[in-house]
Amino acid sequence: MKLTFLGTGTSCGVPVIGCGCAVCRSSDKRDRRLRTSALVEADGVSILIDCGPDFREQYLENIRDKSIDGVLLTHVHYDHMGGLDDLRPLTYRNTVPVYCRADVAIRLKNNLSYCFGDKHYPGSPVLDLVEIKEYTGFNVKGVDVMPFGVRHGDLDILGFRIGDMGYITDASKIDNSTVEALRGVKVMVINALREREHRSHMNLTSALNAIDLIAPQQAYLTHMSHEAGLHAVLASRLPEGVYAAYDGLKVEI
């Protein structure tokens, strides 16, 4: 299985519009963080985790010419589902299923009624909306996926386990059931917004504490704002086996 980080930034991305901090002005490509998204490839199946407003750019840069066999959505916020319309060319021949919670499905039906309404608008993406529940497994063309619950401030959202990989973004905390669902993973992806605490996202300290509880062989930080600092500096401060992900990073699992 291969994991590609398509985006490792927050809802504003990095550089942030109008910001002149050292991270936003950095010439290091690893400091350019598009909205958070990832691609999992296993047994010839390509699964996209979240499809934000940077998807078109991410696809052309990192995926190019590959099909998408399924989309997993973690939650309802725009930076995680605002790029679904850009799947349009990938659905000309095959319908792409979109797996999400019931609350996300409602939002999609309202915001993308031309795709998910009773009448499909000609030429719009052909997407099959599939509602899923936490701790109820399903498969995408034979690849098993287990969704699990995490908290994002006051919002219940999903993380995903696919084989030996666990993926969490935007979480403010995880509970014991989440930790148990991720026991034995070799690779863990988890959000670490910045050093300072935040009401709806884990900061670096809480992310590292969660990694200690789950105890993967390797862990990668994602959903990092410009306040997370320069990649080179952050990477040098992390404990053994924990890495700061960056856009375009590929990990073999």
Write out pLDDT tens, residues 180-236.
999 999 999 999 999 999 999 999 999 999 999 999 999 999 999 999 999 999 999
CB within 8 Å of 252: residues ≥ 6 apart: 1, 2
Counting as low any pLDDT under 50, the low residues of the chain are none
Instruction: Tell me the two tokens of residue 64.
Output: 């190019």
Q: What is the pLDDT of residue 121?
A: 80
Q: What is the pLDDT of residue 117?
A: 76
Using CA atoms, how far apart are residues 83 and 109, in angstroms rounded to an integer? 15
Backbone angles phi, psi at 164, to 5 degrees: -90, 15
Q: How far, rounded to the nearest angstrom, does the alpha carbon of residue 243 sit from its chain's CA centroid?
A: 16
Q: What is the pLDDT of residue 123?
A: 84
Instruction: Tell me the two tokens of residue 124.
Output: 């719009």
Instruction: Tell me the two tokens of residue 249.
Output: 């990073």
Q: What is the pLDDT of residue 162?
A: 98
Please measure the distance between the N-terminal and C-terminal CA atoms of the chain and give it in whole angstroms: 5
Closest CA to 188 of 160, 170, 213, 167: 167
pTM for this prediction: 0.97
Q: What is the pLDDT of residue 222?
A: 98
